[in-house]
Amino acid sequence: MAEILVVSGFISSNGVEPMAVAELSKDNFEQTIKDKDFVIVDFWAPWCAPCRSFAPVYDKVSEDHDDILFAKVNTEEEQEIAAHFRIRSIPTLMIFREQVIVFAQPGALPEAAFRQLLEQAKELDMAEVHRQVEAHGQATA
């Protein structure tokens, strides 16, 4: 079976060391969200200065959270994904917990605010979130 995630890495004197951030594409996005309970996605583009300035913060925070999959979507290369999620401004952060989007907002966050956001997302009562999603689905059906 093929590997689902393409993990970016860097070369060190010891060879290739995996980074905590995965690159998502239309080929692995859906399966990744299904397979992982907690995924945070940074929608970005190479030409975007705020995206480039946020990247070191994103990478640094990812190193402290083994329980969360940190991923990136290059909106230039993955326009289909960006269109599906109606990404209009970048960077945009999106947090998935158990296949539910619990946060989506454009803008680069300072490190402290980003860490606080992750703690709040961790503390969510996902049973209650799923009940609310189901109730909303029934109300709009």
Q: How many other β-carbons are positioned within 10 Å of the β-carbon of residue 133? A: 16
Catalytic residues: 48, 51
Radius of gyration of the chain (CA): 16
User: Hey, what's the torsion of the CAs at 132, 37, 77, 26, to 10 degrees?
Assistant: -90
Angle between helix 49-62 and 111-123 (nearest 10): 60
Count of other CB atoms within 10 angstroms of residue 65:
16
With H, G, I as helix, E, B as strand and everything else as coil, classify residue 48: coil
Give the tokens for residue 70. Answer: 């940190």
